[in-house]
């Protein structure tokens, strides 16, 4: 099962490598990962998507908590939450494709953020499956390059991940 783990950790050099190292060392899978400082600059927030059964996720959570730099770990998928991934995709935009891509982008509420004589860059934000659907919907359009930010997420309502 796919899980989204949110991790608050000390904003120290080496902290990220400990998290990533833990996953490779113990054979856990990382599907996506993003990390950035929070408003409290001593803390970084890392969001990581992984897959595994309950036992595996329990082990991952325990091992993350064991890392000395890690302050808190939450499995967002345990409760109601929102998640967003951002996609930038560079496509070949010539001839009829120029309009076609524009239309598809509008339908998905994306933005064309760069227009070249023969290319567009489309930006789209949303849950992972929406971005996947968009890529499928591009159909015959030639995709030149794709980059995704990785999932960021938060629990809905009053629940807050903080120190």
Partner 1 sequence: MEQLSGGEMIVRALEDEGVEYIFGYPGGAALHIYDAIFKANSVPHILVRHEQAATHAADGYARATGKPGVVLVTSGPGATNAITGIATAYMDSIPMVVISGQVQSHLIGEDAFQETDMVGISRPIVKHSFLVQRTEDIPSILKKAFFIATTGRPGPVVVDVPKDLTHPEHKFDYEYPESVQMRSYQPSVKGHSGQVRKAARLLLNAKRPVIYAGGGVIQGEGCDLLTDLARRLNYPVTNTLMGLGAYPATDKQFLGMLGMHGFYEANMAMHHSDVILAVGARFDDRVTNTVSKFCPGAKIIHIDVDPASIAKIVPVDVPIVGPVTTVLNDLNAQIDQQLASTDRTLPDATALDEWWRQIDSWRDAHGLWHGRRYGESDHIMPQDAITALYNATNGEAYVTSDVGQHQMFAAQYYKFDYPRRWINSGGLGTMGFGLPAAMGIKLALPEAEVACVTGEGSIQMNIQELSTCAQYDVPVKIVSLRNNYLGMVKQWQDMQYDSRYSESHYASSLPDFVKLAESYGHVGMLIEKKEDLEPAMKEAFALKDRLVFMDIFVEPHEHVYPMHVAPSGAMKDMWLSKTERT
How many of the chain's residues bind partner 1 (CB under 8 A)?
20
CB of 67 to partner 1, least distance (A): 8
Report, in Å, the least distance between residue 79 CB and partner 1: 21
Among 30, 31, 52, 63, which residue sits at the site for partner 1 (rule: CB under 8 A)? 63
Spatial distance between the Cα atoms of 115 and 119, rounded to a whole number of angstroms = 6
Give the C-alpha separation, 120 to 127, whole Å. Answer: 22
In 3D space, the residue among 134, 19, 109 whose CA is nearest the CA of residue 69 turns out to be: 19
DSSP 142: P
Residue among 68 and 118 whose Cβ is closer to partner 1: 68
Which listed range, 63-71, 77-85, 113-121, 138-146, lies at the site for partner 1 (CB under 8 A)? 63-71
Query: Per rule CB under 8 A, is residue 96 in the interface with partner 1?
Result: no
51 binds partner 1 (CB under 8 A): no
Tokens of 84: 């967003």
Question: What span, in angstroms and rounded, lies between the C-alpha atoms of 124 and 133?
Answer: 11
Closest to partner 1 by CB, 71 or 91 = 71
- Least spacing, CB of residue 44 vs partner 1, in Å: 11
Place of tokens 């595996």: 56
Rounded to 10°, the helix 96-107/128-137 angle is 160
Query: In this structure, how many other beta carbons lie within 10 angstroms of the beta carbon of residue 66?
Result: 10
**In whole angstroms, how close is the CB of 17 to partner 1 at the nearest point?**
7
Q: Which of 9, 74, 76, 152 binds partner 1 (CB under 8 A)?
A: 9
Using DSSP, how many helices (H) and how many strands (E) does the chain show?
Answer: 4, 9
Interacting residue ranges for partner 1, rule: CB under 8 A: 9-10, 13-14, 17-18, 21, 25, 55, 58-59, 62-63, 65-66, 68-71, 163
């Amino acid at each position: 099962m796919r899980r989204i783990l949110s991790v608050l950790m000390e904003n120290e050099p080496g902290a990220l490598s400990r998290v990533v190292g833990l996953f490779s060392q113990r054979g856990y899978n990382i599907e996506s990962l993003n990390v950035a400082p929070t408003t409290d600059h001593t803390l970084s927030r890392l969001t990581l998507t992984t897959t595994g059964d309950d036992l595996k996720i329990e082990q991952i959570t325990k091992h993350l908590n064991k890392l000395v730099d890690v302050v808190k770990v939450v499995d967002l998928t345990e409760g109601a939450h929102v998640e967003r991934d951002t996609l930038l995709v560079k496509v070949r935009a010539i001839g009829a494709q120029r309009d076609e891509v524009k239309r598809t982008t509008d339908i998905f509420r994306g933005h064309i953020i760069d227009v070249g004589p023969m290319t567009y860059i489309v930006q789209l934000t949303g849950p992972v499956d929406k971005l996947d659907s968009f890529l499928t919907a591009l159909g015959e359009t030639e995709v030149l390059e794709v980059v995704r930010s990785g999932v960021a997420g938060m629990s809905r309502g009053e629940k807050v991940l903080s120190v």
